[in-house]
Amino acid sequence: MFSSLDSPRRRAIASNRAACDREPAGRWTRWTWAKFLAAAVSCAPLNSCAATCPAFDPNAEPIVYYTSEDPSTTRSELECAAADGATLGYIAHLTADPKAALVYLHGIESHAGWFNAAADGLCGQGFDVYCLDRRGSGINRENRGFLSGYVDSTELMIADIHAFLEPLHERYEHVYLIGLSWGGKLAPAYALYHPEDVDGLILITPGIVAIVDVSFATKVGIFLGNFFNKTALFHTPIEPQMFTTTPFYLERIIADPLRLHCVTARFFWESHQLDGFLADEIERNRLPILMFLAGKDTIIDSEGNVEFLQRGSQTIFDVITYEEQTHSIQFDATDRFVADAAAWLELRIADQDPG
């Protein structure tokens, strides 16, 4: 069940990291400073580095990624109170006699709709699935008073999840977090903030250690924007075909009016802060983890994610790799993902239930 932890690529990555470790810590070379200053000058005014992105259209017809044929499950768009009293929308996939609640956190560009098929499949296996759209994403954009692609702080994102999870414990004995891509970075961060809130983590191609990155000039723009124009927009460094090569889903991703093409300087800044928090705190994690990886992923560093999460103190860390998949395995291998995730959840629930 565990992926191989030794390969030529892994040894090359380790060698590169060792070489980096030999460089003076925290010291920039003259060349790096020269690039920074040149980029800073080119980004003045800041708008010269900011992106022009499609405006949110609340009247646009949403893309239908999947329609359930299982009459025993229901899917509803509902609302809840956020940490600061604002109203957030979410999608609930509910069944008659749930074994546990699963709370899904989406990626940087995506939203709850990208998990519809998998959520309905897990619902059919006896799990209630709640898909949260981050403020500034999906169904929680200008239509509910949030700026697209903006979040003020990591703490506010964590508080929003906490506000949603608290009442679930009155109805469910078991609660698990599912994080996809960038949401796979937010999920373990939440578990470190509130380890008592969840029973375990399912991480799908998590964006903790990434391959894709923005350019150096964009990083300078983000840095300046965080201090002078937090709402300046910058393109995400992901192309649609990096998510999936399945034509049915690729066409829908390209046409999806709820997909984020850009996020704000503040979002990128907080994402970077989240990286630092995880790096400093991951050793404290004791929650069981199931991680799904894709063999042809060009968005994340799969082996780097294994190495990173192995630093935790959890006794259960299972890794399943789908060798032929690209990144969004919830699209391309839905049935297999549902079966594997449900089987793991059944084992964890059996471990936790006495007798």
- Listed as own residue / partner, the contacts of 47-50 with beta carbons closer than 8 Å and 24 or more positions apart are 47/229, 47/232, 49/217, 49/218, 49/220, 49/221, 49/224, 49/232, 49/234, 50/221, 50/225, 50/229, 50/232, 50/233, 50/234, 50/265
221 within some domain? no
Amino acid found at 109: E
pTM: 0.86
The overall average pLDDT reported for the chain is 87
Q: What is the pLDDT of residue 74?
A: 73
Distance (Å, whole) CA 69 – CA 120? 9
* Segment holding 184, helix H or strand E: helix 183-193
Q: What is the pLDDT of residue 43?
A: 58
State the residue range of the domain holding 82. Answer: 69-211+278-352
Q: What is the pLDDT of residue 39?
A: 59
Q: What is the DSSP letter of 258?
A: T
316 within some domain? yes
Q: What is the pLDDT of residue 267?
A: 97
**What six digits make up the tokens of 329?**
């395995």
Query: What is the number of domains present in the chain?
Result: 1
78 within some domain? yes
**What six digits make up the tokens of 25?**
């810590």
Q: Domain with 199 in it: what CATH number?
A: 3.40.50.1820
Q: What is the pLDDT of residue 17?
A: 39
> Are 260 and 149 within 8 A, CB to CB?
yes
Amino acid found at 251: E
Beta strands 127-132 and 100-105: pairing type?
Answer: parallel
Q: What is the pLDDT of residues 36-47, one digit of tens each?
A: 555 555 554 555
Amino acid found at 32: T
Question: Which parts of the chain sit beneath pLDDT 70?
Answer: 1-51, 66-73, 354-355
306 within some domain? yes
Q: What is the pLDDT of residue 11?
A: 41
Q: What is the pLDDT of residue 53?
A: 83
* Segment holding 10, helix H or strand E: helix 8-21
Residue 61 three-state SS? coil
Residue holding tokens 């093409």?
Answer: 261
25 within some domain? no
**What six digits make up the tokens of 234?**
């910058």
Query: Could you tell me how far CA 54 lies from the centroid of its own chain?
Result: 22
50 within some domain? no
Residues 6+ apart with CB under 8 A from 336: 322
Q: What is the pLDDT of residue 7?
A: 42
DSSP assignments along 129-164, one per residue: EEEEPPTTBTTBSGGGT--TT--S-HHHHHHHHHHH
Residues 6+ apart with CB under 8 A from 239: none
60 within some domain? no
Q: What is the pLDDT of residue 63?
A: 76
CA atoms within 13 A on the CB side of 354: 0
Nearest to 304 by CA among 23, 1, 3: 3
Residue holding tokens 């008592």?
Answer: 196
> What sign does the CA torsion over 296, 192, 289, 344 have?
negative
310 within some domain? yes
